[in-house]
Structure 1
Amino acid sequence: MGEEQRREPAQPMTRRERRLLAERGVPRILTVCTGNICRSPLAETVLRARLRDLGVEVSSAGTHAVVGHEMTRQAQELATGRGADAGDAAAHRARFLVDPLLLEADLVLAMSREHRDEAVLLTPHRVHHVLTIRQFARLAAELDDDTIRSAADAAGPLAAQRLSHAVTTVSARSLGAGSDDDDVIDPYHRSDAVYEESAAQLDPGLAQVERVVRLALA
């Protein structure tokens, strides 16, 4: 699905969707992949550890989740090597992506363009809050600190709204449908070397997410 299609006017929000949006208070980040046992929980657990002092809630889900399964061994090791709590990584269990999770999130980080597009199909009016993590890294790197702080300040004092405004400022720079460089390689059932490559592709995004969140909330 191209960017032009995703930015077409969306259907009006339902009453339930408006209620869920109104109830958002704690800033929330959602990471999304396919099975929810490799890429998205790796990103989830690392970001949760790095943002714990800011009170940000980080969760993950899969478009075709292996429901109830734990993270793969390699993903757990790579997550803890990047600062995730070992117990947190071991406790993860996969779950399906459903629209309430998307409605509650101020930032949705997809692991690929396919995951991004599936998330947008579920909640098209939230398109400006859904990016691939590599896309987020690229776009956020183009913004200076003052621009991000100013966007957050314009939202007022509430943490969730501050993060939401900062995210839309990042996503506003997105043009076109993206490229292969916006996808994180899927390492499932592949070698340890591929797992390392996949995690390395996540690293710039993890760093930029932490940067943007801290500028918006700290």
Structure 2
Amino acid sequence: MHIMFVCTGNICRSPMGELLLARYLANTTVRVSSAGTRGLPMHQIDPSSARLMDSVGINSSGFRSRRLTRQMAEESDLILCFEASQRKDIVTLAPAAVRYTFLLNDFANMCEYCAKNGLVKGLTIQERLRSVIDASSMIRPMLPAPGDIEDPHGKEFAKFRKAADQTNQAIRTMLTSMRKHYRVDAAPVRQQITRQDFASAW
């Protein structure tokens, strides 16, 4: 399974999503990547995002940004973005991706709803995430309208911290909701990222 995070420039929010989820799923075969709808290729992660990742033990020095292409979108199994406008850009570029492209907060809510209502199916994390994707059109009317995760680019560090915390919270909601037959392996201290880690590190 290939999960891709997409933001605008692929230097602030989507790199943090990629690096965080990749850490959580390090012991699985899930592939995690990121791109930007207007990303400039080969840029380093924003220094503030890098500082946040470094503070929880994630080395982001090798990260380089990418511009989203139709092929990238079509080769993904799940695309998670941060703003409604980004979702529109993604499905305009790759119409077939509309079935598996979601705002991050929206998909986290879907995972939680499916877990609470016995709709999560399968034994592996891949199967269970796909079951949520398959149920998404049916459950969408039951869920609140999702909120954007604000772009912190060019803003004070507190905005980056807020975006990282919201991203991490949504990812943890997703993974916790998938745990009936699947458990994210505990990592060594300082590698298992929690909201408490963020609060203390920042």
Question: Which TM bucket (shorter chain)?
Answer: 0.7 to 0.9
Checking the alignment, whether the CA contact within 8 Å between 2:111 and 2:178 is kept in structure 1 is no
1:121-164 C-alpha deviation (Å, 9 max, x unpaired): 122233221101111122222222673542x36xxx8x756543
CA RMSD of aligned residues (A): 2.6
163, 166, 177: which one aligns with 2:132: 166
1:187 aligned to 2:140?
no
Letter paired with 2:73 = L
For normalisation by structure 2, the TM-score amounts to: 0.78
2:176 partner amino acid = R
Aligned: 1:99 with 2:70: yes
1:119 alignment partner in structure 2: 90
CA 146–174 in structure 1, closer or farther in 2 if over 3 Å, else same: closer
The match for 1:76 among 50, 62, 79 is: 50
Q: Secondary structure at the match of 2:102?
A: strand
Task: Using structure 1 for the length normalisation, give the TM-score.
Answer: 0.73
Identity of aligned residues (%): 26
Residue aligning to 1:36: 10
Q: Distance in 2 between matches of 1:102 and 1:216?
A: 29
Equivalent positions of 1:136-215 (< 5 A) are 136-144=107-115, 147-150=118-121, 152=122, 163-170=129-136, 172-175=138-141, 181-212=146-177
Contact 2:114 2:120 in 1 (8 A): no
Aligned partner of residue 61 in structure 2, secondary structure: helix
Instruction: Quote the residue 1:19 is aligned against.
Output: none
Post-superposition offset of 1:103: 1.5
- The residue that corresponds to 1:132 in the other structure is 103
Count of aligned pairs between the two proteins: 182
Q: Which runs of 5+ in 2 are unaligned?
A: 184-202
Q: Give 2:47's aligned amino acid.
A: R
- Shift in CA distance, 101/118, structure 1 to aligned 2, threshold 3 Å: same
Partner of 2:86, secondary structure, is helix
Secondary structure of 1:174's aligned partner? helix
